[in-house]
Amino acid sequence: MLPLLTAQQIRQADAHTVITEPISSVNLMERASKAFVGWFINHFQDKDLTIAVYCGTGNNGGDGLAIARMLYDHRYLNIDVKIARFSDNATEDFNTNLDRIKNMGLDLHELKRDGVLPAENASILIDALLGSGLNKPLSGDYEQLAQHINALNKTVVAVDVPTGFLPDGEMAADATVVKADLVITFQQPKLNFLLPESAPHINCWEVVNIGLDEGFVQSLESSYQFVSEKDIKSILKPRKRFSNKGTYGHALIIAGQAKTMGAALLSSAGSAYAGAGLTTACIPESGLTALNTYLPELMAIIRKEGALPDVNWEQFTAIAIGPGLGKDTAALNLLTAVFENYNKPIVVDADALNLLAENTSLWQNVPEGTILTPHMKEFDRLFGKHNNWWQRLQTATKMAAKHHICIVLKNDYTMVATPDGKAYFNSTSNAAMATGGMGDVLTGIITSLLAQKYSPQDACIAGVYLHGKAGDELATPNRMNVVLPGRLAQQLPLTMAKLTA
Ligand SMILES: NC(=O)C1=CN([C@@H]2O[C@H](COP(=O)(O)OP(=O)(O)OC[C@H]3O[C@@H](n4cnc5c(N)ncnc54)[C@H](OP(=O)(O)O)[C@@H]3O)[C@@H](O)[C@H]2O)[C@H](O)CC1
Ligand SMILES: [K+]
């Protein structure tokens, strides 16, 4: 796992590296700038590009000056450096880099606090005005300049963090931020890159390694982790020789009404394709033909109208409840019965989440290790209205710890909050997956992994990863605009085989 550090912790890691490597801070700046330039020249190979580098007078600006110098050395000769002298302060490493660049023959301009905005002919703008040192929202000269840059509608590549973007913590919804087409960020993605509030400001981001002390980074207490493929490979277990269906558990999916049988089919398919030895769907009688036709491998328990189904709860190694279930009295009675009769972790999704939100007394019977899989609206129904995703992240980790459960809060970088108060950010998935039924398949996958005896935490982290990875494998090479959930479920055996090979 990659610990996701706050800006303050990154500064600590920075200072630690300077002392222990040892390396001077200006040489660390040189290394960071070199890493930026390495990525930049690979991506923008035309040396005739006209480039403007906007620099502040802190270390982000110092990076900007070093980057301009290095690009010039790489024969990008049309470089114009604009230094925003909006503060009387400048860092030592900024000044060192200013001295280094002064006599190289590049165009250097200073922007003063006189409100005059610079003319701009360059086609690419490098934003090195402010980085992770941002300590208040942009205002005055910086805000005006940021708005001016945004109005130019040029390609903007930001150094580390777009100017005005808070790397972590609650960011005002109306904050002015330089809009970046690409952010080349140092060492790790910043926490707020992973939250939807970044969407208007950042089109995409890339991480470049600047060699901060790995051991020290790992030793820093971080509540937030970024999940990588390596982590999933170490979680997933290959299927064993001499195993049989009993080895891989029996999942029960309680889902579907007459008009929402699709949800039951898709979550059951998710469970079957993710490898549960047996999958039983608990469905209304009217859905039986559909179930048998869609996937004959599935088994059924019939729900008769108004009556609780006769279920031998203990025969199941994992249970999910909710997709397409509805919120009528029968659904509530069923959810109550599941909580009362089953004391192992339960996957609670969709309508079951809404029932839990409306009937708070149900909480007292929620088994430890239970997994809630809400999207944003379901999350707010459960835990109250939130103004932004940073707040949701805090609530998710708090509630997971309070109730000893896992919360899978779905989004581009789905986060899994665990009972120890941590949050794990997923790195797979894509926009082609934004279709109805995708969440149902995810519920099935997580339930399947639980049935196969993965811990609730591992089932969530690996389940979310596999779901996104299968979607990526379908969408990316084939340039598919939309990936349908049923097709994604069918991809799972291949995705899992590659990760356990
Ligand atoms: N380990 C790494 O990742 C490395 C990162 N590097 C680069 O360093 C920057 C961070 O540099 P820093 O000097 O800490 O901060 P900035 O350059 O972002 O900001 C400079 C000063 O600007 C002032 N400030 C903050 N917010 C505002 C604002 N809204 N309006 C006006 N001014 C603002 C503040 O100074 P004050 O005196 O006003 O408090 C900032 O200190 C990081 O992003 C990387 O690019 C290193 O090069 C290598 C290691
Ligand atoms: K920047």
Q: Each residue of 122-180: pLDDT tens digit?
A: 999 999 999 999 999 999 999 999 999 999 999 999 999 999 999 999 999 899 999 99
Residue 32 alpha carbon, nearest atom of ligand 1: 48
Interface pTM, i.e. ipTM = 0.98
Q: Each residue of 397-411: pLDDT tens digit?
A: 999 999 999 999 999
Global confidence as pTM? 0.96
pLDDT, mean over the chain: 97
Q: Is 136 in the pocket of ligand 1 (CB under 6 A)?
A: yes
Output b/e per residue, 221-258; b: 16+ Cβ within 10 A. Answer: ebbbbbbeeebbeebbeeeeeeeeeeebbbbbbbbbbe
Residue 93 alpha carbon, nearest atom of ligand 1: 47
Structure-block tokens of residue 53: 């580098």
DSSP assignment letter at 275: T
Which bound ligand lies closest to the C-alpha atom of 11? 1
Q: How far apart are the first and last CA of the chain?
A: 20
- Ranges of each domain in the chain: 21-213, 242-500
Q: Is 436 exposed, middle or buried (0-12, 13-18, 19+ CB in 10 A)?
A: exposed
Is the Cβ–Cβ distance between 320 and 327 less than 8 Å? Answer: no
Inform me whether the pLDDT recorded for 497 exceeds 90. Answer: yes
Q: Each residue of 232-288: pLDDT tens digit?
A: 999 999 999 999 999 999 999 999 999 999 999 999 999 999 999 999 999 999 999
Q: Is 97 in the pocket of ligand 1 (CB under 6 A)?
A: no
pLDDT of 165: 98
Is the Cβ–Cβ distance between 160 and 60 less than 8 Å? Answer: yes
Distance 192 CA to ligand 1 centre (A): 17
Q: Is 91 in the pocket of ligand 1 (CB under 6 A)?
A: yes
Output b/e per residue, 26-41; b: 16+ Cβ within 10 A. Answer: bebbbbbbebbbeebe
Pairwise CA distance, residues 378 & 374, whole Å = 5
Q: Each residue of 200-232: pLDDT tens digit?
A: 999 999 999 999 999 999 999 899 999 999 999
Domain 242-500 falls under CATH 3.40.1190.20: yes
**Which class is 21-213 in CATH?**
alpha beta
Q: Is 132 annotated as a binding residue?
A: yes
Q: Is 236 in the pocket of ligand 1 (CB under 6 A)?
A: no
